[in-house]
Structure 1
Amino acid sequence: MNTISRMLFTLIALILVVAVAACGAPAAQPTTPAAAPASATEPIKIGALYGITGGMSSIDAPGLNGMKLAVKEINAAGGILGRQIELIAVDGKTDQTTTTNAASELINVHKVVVIGGLNDSTFALAAGPIAQQAGIPFVTAGATLPTLPEQIGDFFFMAPFGDDAQAFAIADYAIDDLQAKTAYLLVDQAYDFTTALASFFKQRFTEKGGRIVLEDIYRSGDTDFSAQIAKVKALNPPPDVLFISAIPNEAGITTKQFREAGLTMPIISGDGFDTPLIAEVAGDLADDVFFATHVALDNADPKVQNFVRAYTQEYGKAPENAFAVLGYDTLNLIADAIKRAGSDDSKAIRDALAATQSFQAVSGTITYAPGQRKPDKSVTIIRVQDGVYTFVKEVKP
């Protein structure tokens, strides 16, 4: 076969192949939609990190309960982005090393996309950098050191006000409402929160014309305050108010021992005193105690009372303190950010948190100014009298 014949044969063969294919090939079938990625149906994993045991348990356990309540309500309403929330809680045990390890566990083992919790700044400073390095947003429910966001980084957010706000508020109340001119300071030296709170109180109290007549210290875990009490009783004249900067574990025992010693002047403090331990430990001696905190549970605001009813129905008891509210608010703030982000991507959640404007939480309105990750919220003053906690006023220093 010469070259021309071979070319002609090849051409005819190709024509026949095309014709057969056109006549006998089955019609093209419609494309079957690809199955939705697994992540679209899997739950959104949110970490809860608290000191459920140890010295922070009286405020951290209610905080976790508040988070759980928020998750139950959100899931019952259909979840977020069509998905349920899975809340994964790990106990930091009121220990810095354990708290650091718990943060790592939530991120590396449980693969959470965002973390909320912790009510003390020392523990937030332990866990926050772990989340920051991993690019996981961390929203502290109740840690109030105002410099936390700057110290930790741009993935760290505060749901509460700062220690400056609450210290200024209780200092204003001492001078303007209690007519105090002098104050005694007792400060736990073990925590960033207690030292910062005392420093801000002293600043405001003296700026307004008050005088600090004596400053004394103790270490967290102390149970005998007789030496400090003896110094106060030696003061002549006695101070008008006693400012005790303590974590919840020492709030009740200091109140009890100072009252047993016959020191009846008002005891004032910050949200470390927002614990049932004052009434439980001091009993009938829990009188004329005033503290600044995030919300009063007897506030008639419908948002507050709706929360109180829901919490009581869920747990068979009234919320213990404002930290139950803060846990609830923190989870709802995170859920709102995920919804606005339209994704459970951690970076997208971080960006949505940073853009939060006028979020209506039970504990107040949360807005983050550009470049800021601490809200400017009002402060509530509460009085303990005969072991009963009563709303006094809400102020914005």
Structure 2
Amino acid sequence: MRIRFLPILFALALMLAACGGAAAPAASGGAAAPTAAAAGGGPIAVGGGFALTGDESALDLPAANGAKLAAKEINAAGGVLGRQINLVVHDTQYKMDVTAQVAKQFVEQDKVVAVVGFTDTDSVLAAGPTIQGAGLPFITAGATSPKIPSQVGDKMFLACFGDNVQAAAGAEFGFKQYGKSAYLLWDKGVEYTTLLAGYFKARFTELGGTIALEDQYDDKATDFSAQIAKLKALSPQPSFYYIAAMPYNVGPVVKQLRDAGLTGPVLGGDGYDTPDLVNVAGKAADNVFFTTHALMDAQGGTDGIKKFIAAYNKEYGHDPENAFAALGYDAVYLLADAIKRAGSTDAGAIQQAIKATKDFPGITGKITFGASNVPQKGVTIIGVKDSKLALAAEVVPEKVPAP
């Protein structure tokens, strides 16, 4: 494992156009000349699927805001191929039946040329088959299952790293920083947390670590006393606790863990990247660490992150809530860059251009697609101290479990 502390070493090459702040396109073979049909006409409709309400809204709402900000900047800078981007956002409410209906609406009514959105795997799996069946490119902002492209199809791309990457980063960080014994707990009702726990266990035990106890809980659980009682009975206590949780239950589980007198380090994934962690757990959130896509820090972040935070604050009156705001922003810019290079709004041409993306300068790191539709990106590890988030490490895992 390579752990790199501040300053962040992977460079961000986000270039802003003077009049609108749009990101420069990735250098991946040059842009094709726009076709006569593409060079003029009305707005380019792009579907934006997000759970603006419901349990996933703590991640999806910032992602949607980031996506809308990107579209606004692109349009202010002249649009793409001489046309404006019309980001058509629908609230899926974090209900899978509604999500499936929204996917049909994008295809049949909104006539979009591509879709961006979602920060969870279950929503992508609910929407993906319809979008894939229509032949449309689909970039998820923050759903991190590396299995998604094989489950949905070749039109499916991730703007984020895979869960196997962040779980490996967490396993290597925990093993090196805290020790060879871990407690493993996960939400058994969600694809994301189930996969994250499995990948963590695979990498941690491969390193020589031991899982002292593993347990699970129902997705809608609010009382974790049964799991905590079993953990508390362990002697000796494990070196740290790895808990794969969703944003809506991470705060309660951490608080109840601390209330029971268990003060060891807690590690988890990007589901922790929500203000609810500190808002719900309070001081109990100290000594919690989680893997995510970037630290939204106006002082210590990269130049690109600082510019993004300033633009987001100007647009919405507050700083980005988490890294998912930046992922939504990256997803729209990535799509716009692909449309420009394709020189067309033809779905097949856009898909090929996305696939050919190399070193796209995203806020959350450079994006390159090759054999896989999941980009290989570095992982940011954030720690909580005195109820504040701070950069703990930047990690490139030494080895990543297969999807």
Q: Same fold (TM over 0.5)?
A: yes
1:301 aligns with 2:298: no
**How far 1:386 moved relative to its partner?**
2.1
1:380 alignment partner in structure 2: 380
**How far 1:40 moved relative to its partner?**
2.4
1:50 aligns with 2:42: no
2:10 alignment partner in structure 1: none
Contact kept in structure 2, 1:52 and 1:92, CA below 8 Å: yes
Contact kept in structure 1, 2:38 and 2:343, CA below 8 Å: no
Q: Bigger relative contact order, structure 1 or 2, given CA contacts below 8 A and separation 6+? A: 2
In structure 2, C-alpha distance between the alignment counterparts of 1:175 and 1:335, rounded to whole Å: 40
Contact kept in structure 2, 1:283 and 1:386, CA below 8 Å: no
Q: Which amino acid aligns with 1:202?
A: K
In structure 1, C-alpha distance between the alignment counterparts of 2:38 and 2:346, rounded to whole Å: 14
Contact kept in structure 1, 2:39 and 2:83, CA below 8 Å: no
The secondary structure found in structure 2 opposite 1:347 is: helix
Contact kept in structure 1, 2:295 and 2:301, CA below 8 Å: no
- Which structure has greater helix proportion? 1
TM-score w.r.t. the length of structure 2 is 0.87
What are the residue-to-residue correspondences of 1:246-395 with 2, within 5 Å?
Answer: 246-298=245-297, 299-369=300-370, 371-395=371-395
**How far 1:38 moved relative to its partner?**
10
1:209 aligns with 2:208: yes
1:184 alignment partner in structure 2: 183
**How far 1:191 moved relative to its partner?**
1.2
2:194 alignment partner in structure 1: 195
Q: Which amino acid aligns with 2:144?
A: T
In structure 1, C-alpha distance between the alignment counterparts of 2:237 and 2:392, rounded to whole Å: 25
Classify 1:140/1:38 alpha carbon distance in 2 versus 1 (closer, same or farther; 3 Å).
closer
In structure 2, C-alpha distance between the alignment counterparts of 1:37 and 1:282, rounded to whole Å: 55
Contact kept in structure 2, 1:278 and 1:387, CA below 8 Å: no
In structure 1, C-alpha distance between the alignment counterparts of 2:257 and 2:263, rounded to whole Å: 8
In structure 1, C-alpha distance between the alignment counterparts of 2:256 and 2:53, rounded to whole Å: 25
Query: Which 4+ stretches in 1 moved above 3 angstroms?
Result: 36-39
Q: Which amino acid aligns with 2:346?
A: D
Contact kept in structure 1, 2:139 and 2:159, CA below 8 Å: yes
Classify 1:44/1:66 alpha carbon distance in 2 versus 1 (closer, same or farther; 3 Å).
same
In structure 1, C-alpha distance between the alignment counterparts of 2:162 and 2:262, rounded to whole Å: 30
Contact kept in structure 1, 2:38 and 2:345, CA below 8 Å: no
**How far 1:41 moved relative to its partner?**
2.4
The secondary structure found in structure 2 opposite 1:72 is: helix
Contact kept in structure 2, 1:187 and 1:245, CA below 8 Å: yes
Classify 1:189/1:382 alpha carbon distance in 2 versus 1 (closer, same or farther; 3 Å).
same
Q: Which amino acid aligns with 1:320?
A: E
In structure 1, C-alpha distance between the alignment counterparts of 2:395 and 2:112, rounded to whole Å: 37
1:237 aligns with 2:236: yes
The secondary structure found in structure 1 opposite 2:216 is: strand
TM-score w.r.t. the length of structure 1 is 0.89
Q: Which amino acid aligns with 1:324?
A: A
In structure 1, C-alpha distance between the alignment counterparts of 2:367 and 2:149, rounded to whole Å: 15
- What's the CA shift string for 1:152-199, capped at 9, x where partnerless? 11111111110110000011110112x222111111111111111001
1:66 alignment partner in structure 2: 66
Q: How many residues align?
A: 360
The secondary structure found in structure 2 opposite 1:394 is: strand
The secondary structure found in structure 2 opposite 1:291 is: strand
Contact kept in structure 2, 1:51 and 1:92, CA below 8 Å: yes
* Structure with max Cα Rg: 1
Classify 1:338/1:37 alpha carbon distance in 2 versus 1 (closer, same or farther; 3 Å).
closer
What are the residue-to-residue correspondences of 1:17-96 with 2, within 5 Å?
Answer: 40-96=40-96
Q: Which amino acid aligns with 1:213?
A: A
The secondary structure found in structure 2 opposite 1:157 is: strand
Q: Which amino acid aligns with 1:211?
A: T
Kindly, what percent of the aligned residue pairs are identical? 50
What are the residue-to-residue correspondences of 1:124-203 with 2, within 5 Å?
Answer: 124-177=124-177, 179-203=178-202
Unaligned runs of 5+ in 1: 1-35
**How far 1:37 moved relative to its partner?**
6.7
Unaligned runs of 5+ in 2: 1-35, 398-403
